[in-house]
């Protein structure tokens, strides 16, 4: 009997190395082009590798813009392994009928954990104290040695009160007895505010009241440098700033200057303006805890994110020849 060739399967590009078992799930549905060495591709390399692909699975590190879309009119779905969508030009995708998916919710608690870890580490000078120990400089206990700021019972400010912001608020209110104030473009329903024990304030009010300020808002043109020199000067002198959202929300150079000058007490950063490059002044700024964009970085959560991104791609591309068209409305970034 004549053998029929297998039907050709949609071709999908995965830009970064993912978990082998989750990649195997994708391979059941698609012809996969992958990146087993996990090398960072330039924009030109990404454009070249996307040839013939109808699906793209990418991370926040790859830019999907009009030029890339115009070079690949066959592309139908972009599955981002991230909740943030600032690496993707959503308007350009919507205009070309390209469906964009992301991985919200599964990372809320893990990212809030890292926010709290940075807050505690910065306020209590953990990084500096450990470096001091490792240098062998600890020869005597002293009354004011690495004396930082209390977290318990203080006022927690949150800028951007979406799902992750609310998870940070719960930790502060329930775990550390903190008073919680927040600023968001849209106020939460009163019942949610009451359940969280959180009070809406203006942005100026937030800067003035917070002992510790955590940034959890999406990066958009409106949030670019929303914390700059003026905002840092408006914070309490001993205050802590934590950014677990996106680079570019904080003016990194202004923050380094503010830490040098003692304008605020301490800071913890997980994200940077030009990551993975850091503004050199951050490396020598005092009272600063730095992590390399690991907010969602527990193994379980990274697996959940990749699993969701796989499901999104399969759902969008695997249910018929025209799956992914017509496109759903472009997902909107969470309101600031």
The footprint of ligand GLV (CB under 6 A) covers: 60, 82-84, 107, 295-296
Question: Is 275 known to be catalytic?
Answer: yes
Phi-psi region of 321 (alpha: psi -120 to 50; beta: other; left: phi over 0): alpha
* CB nearer ligand GLV, residue 295 or residue 307: 295
Question: Is 246 known to be catalytic?
Answer: yes
DSSP string, 178-219: -EEEEE-SSPPPHHHHHHHTEEE--HHHHHHH-SEEEE----
Rounded to the nearest whole angstrom, what is the least distance from the CB of residue 109 to ligand GLV in the complex?
Answer: 13
* CB nearer ligand GLV, residue 78 or residue 258: 78
What secondary structure letter does DSSP report for 174? I
From 275, 279, 303, 325, the catalytic residue? 275
* CB nearer ligand GLV, residue 82 or residue 306: 82
From 124, 171, 212, 246, the catalytic residue? 246
The percent helix, strand, coil of the chain (3-state, each to 5) is 35, 15, 50
From 293, 302, 303, 325, the catalytic residue? 293
Rounded to the nearest whole angstrom, what is the least distance from the CB of residue 160 to ligand GLV in the complex?
Answer: 13
* CB nearer ligand GLV, residue 55 or residue 218: 218
Rounded to the nearest whole angstrom, what is the least distance from the CB of residue 129 to ligand GLV in the complex?
Answer: 28
Cis peptide before 17 (omega within 30 of 0): no
CB 91 within 8 A of CB 250: no
Rounded to the nearest whole angstrom, what is the least distance from the CB of residue 137 to ligand GLV in the complex?
Answer: 35
From CA 172, how far away is CA 195, in angstroms rounded? Answer: 13
Question: Is 183 known to be catalytic?
Answer: no
* CB nearer ligand GLV, residue 143 or residue 299: 299
Show the beta-strand stretches assigned E in the chain.
Answer: 11-14, 31-33, 55-58, 77-80, 99-101, 155-159, 179-183, 198-200, 212-215, 240-243, 266-269, 288-290
Rounded to the nearest whole angstrom, what is the least distance from the CB of residue 62 to ligand GLV in the complex?
Answer: 13
The residues carrying an active-site annotation are 246, 275, 293
């Amino acid at each position: 009997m004549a053998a029929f060739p297998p039907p050709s399967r949609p071709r999908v590009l995965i830009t970064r190395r993912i978990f082998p078992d989750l990649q195997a799930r994708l391979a059941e549905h698609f012809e996969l082009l992958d990146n087993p060495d996990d090398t960072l591709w330039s924009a030109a390399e990404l454009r070249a590798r996307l040839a013939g692909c109808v699906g793209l699975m990418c991370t926040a590190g790859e830019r999907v813009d009009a030029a890339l879309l115009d070079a690949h009119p066959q592309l139908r779905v972009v599955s981002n392994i991230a909740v943030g969508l600032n690496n993707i030009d959503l308007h350009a995708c919507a205009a070309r009928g390209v469906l964009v998916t992301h991985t919200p919710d599964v990372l809320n608690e893990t990212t809030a954990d890292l926010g709290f870890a940075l807050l505690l580490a910065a306020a209590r000078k953990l990084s500096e104290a450990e470096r001091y120990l490792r240098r062998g400089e600890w020869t005597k206990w002293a009354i004011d040695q690495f004396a930082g700021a209390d977290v318990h019972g203080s006022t927690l400010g949150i800028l951007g009160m979406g799902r992750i912001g609310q998870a940070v608020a719960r930790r502060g209110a329930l775990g550390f007895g903190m008073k919680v104030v927040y600023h968001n473009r849209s106020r939460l329903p009163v019942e949610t505010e009451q359940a969280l024990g959180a009070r809406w304030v203006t942005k100026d009010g937030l800067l003035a009241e917070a002992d510790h300020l955590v940034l959890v808002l999406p990066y958009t043109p409106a949030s670019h440098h929303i914390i700059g020199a003026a905002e840092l000067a408006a914070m309490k002198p001993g205050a802590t700033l934590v950014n677990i959202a996106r680079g570019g929300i904080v003016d990194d150079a202004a923050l380094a200057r503010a830490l040098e000058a003692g304008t605020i007490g301490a800071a913890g950063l997980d994200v940077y303006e030009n990551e993975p490059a850091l503004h050199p002044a951050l490396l020598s700024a005092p009272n600063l805890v730095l992590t390399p964009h690991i907010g969602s970085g527990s193994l379980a959560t990274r697996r959940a994110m990749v699993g969701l991104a796989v499901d999104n791609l399969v759902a969008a591309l695997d249910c018929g020849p025209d799956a992914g068209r017509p496109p759903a409305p472009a997902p909107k970034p969470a309101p600031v």
